[in-house]
Amino acid sequence: QKEVEQNSGPLSVPEGAIASLNCTYSDRGSQSFFWYRQYSGKSPELIMSIYSNGDKEDGRFTAQLNKASQYVSLLIRDSQPSDSATYLCAVNPSTLTFGKGTMLLVSP
């Protein structure tokens, strides 16, 4: 059973819009949650971490966590073409477990 689920996309949004990326996880004991951005042919880059229920904002990025629903999301405000990448949700029940990622395409 897959432990971290994400829609593979692509999610297409116009420049300036809000992109909403979602993730569910299966292990209720998970304590740490991360979003990584991965450009094609490159390695994952950590962009957000969240550890408690609620919202955490960093610049144009907001991570949201709901442990009761086992749900994590990432909002990207004022999306830019340079945000076009695959966004990986990662959860840490013991070792960091990744979803397949959601491809985001931001059109000019």
Partner 1 sequence: DTGVSQNPRHKITKRGQNVTFRCDPISEHNRLYWYRQTLGQGPEFLTYFQNEAQLEKSRLLSDRFSAERPKGSFSTLEIQRTEQGDSAMYLCASSLELSANEKLFFGSGTQLSVL
Nearer to partner 1, 2 or 77 (CB): 2
Please compute Rg for the chain using Cα positions.
13
Q: 3-state class of 6 per DSSP?
A: coil
Q: 3-state class of 82 per DSSP?
A: helix
**Do 80 and 106 meet the contact criterion of CB atoms below 8 Å apart?**
yes
As measured in angstroms, the least distance from the Cβ of 53 to partner 1 is 15
Nearer to partner 1, 82 or 94 (CB): 94
As measured in angstroms, the least distance from the Cβ of 103 to partner 1 is 9
In the complex, the residues that contact partner 1 under the rule CB under 8 A are 4, 8, 31-32, 34, 36, 42-46, 49, 51, 88, 90, 92, 94-101
Q: 3-state class of 28 per DSSP?
A: coil
Nearer to partner 1, 16 or 59 (CB): 59
As measured in angstroms, the least distance from the Cβ of 86 to partner 1 is 9
Q: Residue 105 forms beta bridges with which residues?
A: 12
